[in-house]
Structure 1
Amino acid sequence: MKIIILGAGRVGESVAESLVSEQNDITVIDQDPHRLRQLEERLDLRGVVGNGIQPSVLREAGARDADMMIACAASDESNLVVCKIAHDVFNVPTTVARLRSPEFNEGDELLGKSGFAVDNVICPEESVTKYIRQLISFPEALQVVEFSQQRACLIVVRASAGGAVVGHTIGELKDRFPHAEMRVVALYRLDTEMEAKPNTRILPGDEIFVLADVRKIRAVLSAIHNVDKPVQRVMIAGGGKVGLRLARSLVGQCEVKIIEQDRERCEYLASQLPSSMLILHGDGADEDLLLEENVGEMDMFLSLTSDDEDNIMSAMLAKRMGANRVMALINRRAYADMMQGSTIDIAISPSQTVIGELLAHLRRGDVAAVHSLRHGAAEALEGIARGDVKTSKLVGRRVEEIDLPPGARIGAIVRGKDKASEVLMPHHDTLIETDDHIIIFIPNKRHVKEVEKLFTVSATFFG
C-alpha cells in the first residue's frame, strides 16, 4: 500500500515505524530536513522536504497514485487542509487526520466529502486516555482491548504466585471457574510463547492472554488474581493534555492528585477541575514531595509528562516508595520495550494505542477492529464473516475446517446484533454463520495477510 504521512514528529514517526514494518511504501513530508534524514537512515522510507499543504509538495511525494494520506502535523488546520487537497486535487482514496480539537468528530458533515474530506480521525491524546482508563478500571490487567462494540474483551494478565489458576492446566479452567467463561488464546513465559493447549500448565509470572464476554471480565480477573480491589487513590505526574483529559474522566470516581512543574499550567488545571482534586506545583521526581503527599498510599501512580526520562524516573521512584501500581508514558518505542515488566508495571506507548485504529483501515477484507499486541509483534483482529457457503471461506464451516496460519487461533465469536448479541467461546465443531464477528489472535504479524484473505468473499457475492 502506498501511504503518505504528513509530519515527522512523535506521532508521525511512530506511525511510519509501524507501517514500514508491514511492507508498505511510505513517504513522509516534513519541513525539517534533519528530522527526515534521521528517519530515512533508520527506516525504509522516503522523505520529502516541504510544506504539505502545497500541491507541488504533495505531487512530489507521489499523491497522484497514493492509497492513503495520514496527516499528523502539529496543527489541526494543516491536517484538515492537507486531507482536502489530497482528496480534491489528487483523488487519494482514504484520508486520515490527527485532530486534537473535540469540535471535530468522525462522521460529521464538516468532515465529509463536501467538507474537509476526512475519512477517519485519530486523536493520540484521547486514545491514550481511553487506554489508561481501561487499566484503571481493571487494575490487575497489563493490557485491555475491546471488540465488537465493547461486547468482547481481550485482557493480558500476569499469573501471580498463589493465584487460583497457578499450577493448573488451561483445560482445567472451565471446570474450576464455570462462572467465568474464558478462552486462553496465548501464554508467554519469560518472553517466549508457549503453546496454549489444554494440557499447558500455568506457572507464576506467565503472561496470559484471555478473551471473554466484557460482562464477565471481573469474574475472570478475580479467578486469576483472587482480588478485585478498585482503584481509589490516583496520583498523576504531568498536567498536560493527557493528564488533564484523564483527570476529567476520573471526576467523582476516585481521589486524584496532580503534580505539575509549570505554575501557569497549575492555575489552568485548577480552573478546569473540581476543587476536590489537589493540584500540586512541583516535580514528579521530587522524593520529598512524593513522601509528603503519601505516594506510598496510592493505588496507582501515573507519570504522563512529555519527557520519557522524567516519566521513567518518577515512576520508578514512586514504585520504590510504595505506590501499589505505576505506569509511565514512554514515546520512544525502544524505551517502552525495555521498561515493560521492569520496576514499572506498565509502559504506555502512544504509538501502540493509535496504530490499531489505523491498521483497521489498512486491512483487506471485512475487518472491523485491529489491536496491536506484544509491542507490535502480535495482533488481535476482528473480522466479519460475509457471504454464504459458496462465496465465503468461513460461512458454513466448522472451526476445525478453517485454514488458519501457524499459531493463529480463533478466540471468540460474537453472534447477533446489539443487545441480542452473544459472545461464544468456539469449539472445534462450532459452525460459522453469516455476519458472525470472529476474533482471531495472530502471534506473528507475518501471517496477517493470510488471515485477511479469510474475510474476503468471491466476486459472485453481491450482498
Structure 2
Amino acid sequence: MNIVILGAGQVGSSLAELLAQENNDVTVVDLNRLNLQRLQDRLDIRTVAGHASHPDILAQAGCEEADMLIAATQNDETNILACHLAHSMFKTQKKIARVRSRSYLDHPELFDRTQNTMAIPIDVLISPETLVTEYILQLIAYPGSLQVIDFAGGKVRLVAMRAYAEGFLVNKQIRALSYHLPENIKTRIVAIYRRNKAVIPTGDTVIKAGDEVFFLAEADHIPIIVNELRRFKERPSRRIMIGGGGNIGFSLAQALEKHHQVKLIDHNMQQAREVAESLDNTVIIHGDISDKDLLVEENIEEIDLFVSVTNNDEANIISGMMAKKLGVHRVISLVNNQSYVELIQRNSIDIALSADSITTSHLLSHTRKGDTIKVATLRRGAAEAMEVVAHGSENSSEIIGKTIGEVKWPSDITVGCIIRGGKVIIAHHSLEIEAEDHAIIFLTNPESAEQIARLFSPEEKSSWFNF
C-alpha cells in the first residue's frame, strides 16, 4: 500500500515505523528536516520537507499515486485542508485526519458526506482526546484493570489485570477457571506476561502471583471473571480527582459527574472558569496539581482515583506520584514520552497512558491489509490484538471449513473467540471456522499481523505459512 503521512511527530513517526515494517511504501512530510532525517536514518521510507497543506508539497509526496493520506500534524486546519486538497486535486482514495478542537468535533455534519456532498472530504476523523477519554472511562468501569479493549462493537472485551496472591486461581492451572465460573460464563485467557515475558497459555499453564493476565469474554461476564482472579473485590472509584481541565479532563468530568463525586483542578483561571460554567456537579479548583498543600487541603487521602491529564508529562508524573504517596488508591497519568512510561509504571503510578500510542493503535485498523476491523496495540507496542473477518469459501480459503486446531497458525498467536451472526463463541480446537466469521486474535509478536491478514484473505491463499 502507498501511504503518505503528514507530520513526523510521535504519532506520525510511530505510524511510519509500523507501516514500513509491514512492507508498505511510506512517505512522511514535515517542516522539521531534523525529524525527517532521524526517521530516514532508521527506516526505509521517503521524506519530503515542507508545509503539509501546500499543493506542491503534496504533489512531491506522491498524493496522486497514494492509496491513503494520514494527516497527523499538530494543527487541525492543516490536516483538514490537506485532506480537502488530496481529494480535489489528487483523488486520493482514503483520507484520515487527526482533529483535536471541540469546535470541529461538536459539528460532525461538517464531515458527513453521506448527508451532504459538500461536506469536508475526510473518510476517517481521529480525535486523540476522545479516544483517551473513552479508554480511561473503560478503566474506571472495571476497577483493577490495566487495559480494557472493546471488539465486535462492544460485544467482546479484552481485559488485562494483575493476578494477586489472594486470588482463587493463583498457583492453579487455567483449566480450573471453568470449575469456578457459572456454567453460562465463558472466557479464554489469551496471554500471560510473567516478568515481562510472554507465556502462551494452555489448560495446563499455572497462574502465578504478579502475572499480567489477558482474557477475552462477553462484556457482561467480565466482572464475574475478575472476581475469580482476585479474592477481594476491587472497590469502585466513587471519589475521583482530575488534574487538568483541557479537552480530556473536561470530557471525563462531564461523563463522570452524574454518578461520581468529581473534583477538577486546573492552573489556568480562564479555563477553570469555562469548565465551571459547563459542568453541573463537578467541584472546580483553580491551582497547581503538583502542589502538595493544595492536594492535602482538598482531602486527597479520601480520593479513590486520581487522573492527571494535563498537556505536561512532568506535571502528570509528579502529581500522580504525590497522590499515590498521599494515600490515593489508584492513579492514572497521561504520559506521552515513552522513555518515562518504562520508568514509572508499577513503581509509583498504576497506569501510564500515552495519547499518541492510543491514537496510533486506532489508526492501524484503517491501514492493515485484509478485512481488519480493529487493531489494539498492547504492552506499549510489544503485543497486539486484532479483529479480522474470514472471507471466501472452502475452495478459496486456507481456514474456512477447518477447525481452529487444524489451521497452521503462527506460533505466537492465540485465537480468543469467534463472533458469528452476533453470537460470541469462545475458541476451542474443534471449533470450525465459517465464512464471514469475525475472529479476535492475540499476537505476542505484532510482526505476525500481516501473516494473519493474508491468511484471512482468499485472494492471498498460498503456502506462506510453511515456515
8 Å contact kept, 1:112–1:119: no
Q: Determine which of 134, 152, 157 is the counterpart of 1:153.
A: 157
2:270 and 2:59 map into 1 onto residues whose CA distance is 43
Cα distance 1:40–1:106, how it changes in 2: closer, same or farther (>3 A)?
farther
Cα distance 1:392–1:451, how it changes in 2: closer, same or farther (>3 A)?
same
Which is further off, 330-339 or 109-118?
109-118
Cα distance 1:113–1:395, how it changes in 2: closer, same or farther (>3 A)?
farther
Does residue 178 (structure 1) correspond to residue 182 (structure 2)? The answer is yes
Query: Deviation string for 1:218-270 (max 9, x for gaps)?
Result: 11111112315322011111111111111111120201111111111111111
Q: State percent identity of aligned pairs.
A: 39
8 Å contact kept, 1:112–1:118: no
Which is further off, 444-453 or 389-398?
389-398
Q: Match for residue 216 of structure 1?
A: 221
Cα deviation, residue 37, structure 1: 4.4
Q: Match for residue 131 of structure 1?
A: 135
8 Å contact kept, 1:128–1:353: yes
Cα deviation, residue 344, structure 1: 0.8
Cα distance 1:204–1:355, how it changes in 2: closer, same or farther (>3 A)?
same
Does residue 453 (structure 1) correspond to residue 454 (structure 2)? The answer is yes
Cα distance 1:347–1:123, how it changes in 2: closer, same or farther (>3 A)?
same
1:153 and 1:186 map into 2 onto residues whose CA distance is 14
2:284 and 2:435 map into 1 onto residues whose CA distance is 53
8 Å contact kept, 2:454–2:460: no
Q: Match for residue 283 of structure 2?
A: 278
8 Å contact kept, 1:105–1:121: no
8 Å contact kept, 2:22–2:450: no
Residues 299-448 of structure 1 mapped to structure 2, 5 A cutoff: 299-416=304-421, 421-448=422-449
| TM-score after normalising by structure 2 | 0.92
Cα deviation, residue 368, structure 1: 1.2
Q: Match for residue 66 of structure 1?
A: 66
1:113 and 1:443 map into 2 onto residues whose CA distance is 43
8 Å contact kept, 1:188–1:207: yes
Which is further off, 394-403 or 153-162?
394-403
Cα distance 1:213–1:17, how it changes in 2: closer, same or farther (>3 A)?
same
8 Å contact kept, 2:110–2:119: no
Query: Deviation string for 1:35-59 (max 9, x for gaps)?
Result: 5445555665444222222211111
Cα deviation, residue 12, structure 1: 3.3
Q: Determine which of 207, 211, 222 is the counterpart of 2:212.
A: 207
Q: Match for residue 289 of structure 1?
A: 294
Cα deviation, residue 315, structure 1: 0.5
8 Å contact kept, 1:106–1:121: no
1:282 and 1:45 map into 2 onto residues whose CA distance is 45
Q: Which amino acid aligns with 2:277?
A: S
- Secondary structure (helix, strand or coil) at the match of 1:317 reads helix
Q: Match for residue 108 of structure 1?
A: 112
Structure 2 residue ranges without an equivalent (≥5):
462-467
2:22 and 2:339 map into 1 onto residues whose CA distance is 18
- Secondary structure (helix, strand or coil) at the match of 2:5 reads strand
Q: Match for residue 252 of structure 1?
A: 258
- Secondary structure (helix, strand or coil) at the match of 2:242 reads strand
8 Å contact kept, 1:111–1:118: no
Structure 1 residue ranges without an equivalent (≥5):
none
- Secondary structure (helix, strand or coil) at the match of 2:186 reads coil
| TM-score after normalising by structure 1 | 0.92
Cα deviation, residue 298, structure 1: 1.3
Cα deviation, residue 107, structure 1: 7.0
- Secondary structure (helix, strand or coil) at the match of 2:385 reads strand
Q: Which amino acid aligns with 1:235?
A: M
- Secondary structure (helix, strand or coil) at the match of 1:144 reads strand
Cα deviation, residue 279, structure 1: 0.9
1:105 and 1:198 map into 2 onto residues whose CA distance is 50
2:398 and 2:116 map into 1 onto residues whose CA distance is 34
1:433 and 1:49 map into 2 onto residues whose CA distance is 48
1:145 and 1:53 map into 2 onto residues whose CA distance is 34
Cα deviation, residue 173, structure 1: 0.8
Q: Which amino acid aligns with 1:136?
A: I
Q: Match for residue 165 of structure 1?
A: 169
Which is further off, 42-51 or 65-74?
42-51
Q: Match for residue 97 of structure 2?
A: 97
- Secondary structure (helix, strand or coil) at the match of 2:458 reads coil
